[in-house]
Structure 1
């Protein structure tokens, strides 16, 4: 198969990145392979739990960039990869990887999807989801308490101590690498516009690949 069309979706924690990825997957005809950057946190399983919990997961250094870059490259070439799975309650990588087959469209979504040059250069289209900070923190609070076994106090403390300052220092500036800056993405009209853009860009991508 020809090289896949690679789409990056970045934005702050709780911005709606995964929602856009899922809605696009439902709206675009070719099957989409979605990669969550959250699964590529460095493996901390050898550390005591207290040390894992104390790590700054909102800093770019928390990401296993080598493996992420390698997997994105492999999927874009049409190769199957063994994708890591991260356990947020244990703050460690799960012992079993997940087999992921390539599709004609690969979507990488995460707060640092537009951060690293080695990733940005692989993207055929880069999106940044711009969402009000109040909305983002409320979404994060609900998600971390209901899905990741956190306490309200713990989520609030983490947001104030690392999430907010790291967003301002490392995440927000990456919108300069975006081809498109979009609102929350929950509006169907936004998804329709993105679908048309992705389909158009993918067609141009395939035409360029055919000419090589």
Structure 2
């Protein structure tokens, strides 16, 4: 539990307040965001890790961006055609748009992030307005497979979990949150998710600065990483 580590929290809170003061000080100028990339297989625990990290650091200090928002718009295809698309291949992600948004944020510019509807396999009408913050947490299965995206990440984290665990988590999520049937989830996992994971996701582990188990508590990892991040943005 977080309250068991009051000393660390107090120290981190001081560093966060100090960082905010530096970043908001007009005389020091705008500071480029520190980007943390969180990659790993579908169902590995990336979203849980990112949410806990955002909560620990403070949402006012962090912009959380998901690769999932950048699935290419397939509204020009029929729904039956969309269902046959391989959503686990890097080509389905509009990485150039993601890279351009990261570049704009690095210059202190606001961006409008796309929104995606997984039940319809198409982008939603409207966008999510995002303002630059000192820290950007970038989350996605295929982040480390794209060279242009990868080289814009300051610290790369890979969340590792067994295939059995990843499938069980994905099954629960897709049925509950995305309107999928268990059969369709199982078929997709076997036909594209698992093979694409082996080709495009798993190699990202060797590119990571830090490999974290997605089957254990993230508590201590998040504490230590938070302190590291704050130290980094203080010296940028």
Question: TM-score by structure 1 length?
Answer: 0.93
Alignment of 1:160-175 (within 5 A): 160-175=190-205
Residue 158 of structure 1 aligns with which residue? 188
| Distance in 2 between residues matched to 1:101 and 1:193, nearest whole Å | 26
- Structure with max Cα Rg: 2
- Deviations along 1:33-88, one digit per CA (max 9) or x if unpaired, are 01100010111001100011110000000101111110111122221111000100
**Aligned partner of 2:88 among 58, 68, 82:** 58
Residue 203 of structure 1 aligns with which residue? 234
Pairs aligned (count): 205
Which structure features the higher share of helix residues?
Answer: 2
| Distance in 2 between residues matched to 1:70 and 1:27, nearest whole Å | 28
Cα RMSD after superposing both structures: 1.3
Question: 3-state DSSP class of the match of 1:161?
Answer: helix
CA contact (8 A) 1:3 1:78 kept: yes
Deviation, 1:118, is 0.5
Deviates more, 1:34-43 or 1:20-29: 20-29
| Distance in 2 between residues matched to 1:170 and 1:119, nearest whole Å | 14
CA contact (8 A) 2:71 2:94 kept: yes
Structure 1, unpaired ranges of 5+? 207-212
| Distance in 1 between residues matched to 2:192 and 2:218, nearest whole Å | 30
Residue 89 of structure 1 aligns with which residue? 119
Question: TM-score by structure 2 length?
Answer: 0.84
**Aligned partner of 1:48 among 78, 81, 86:** 78
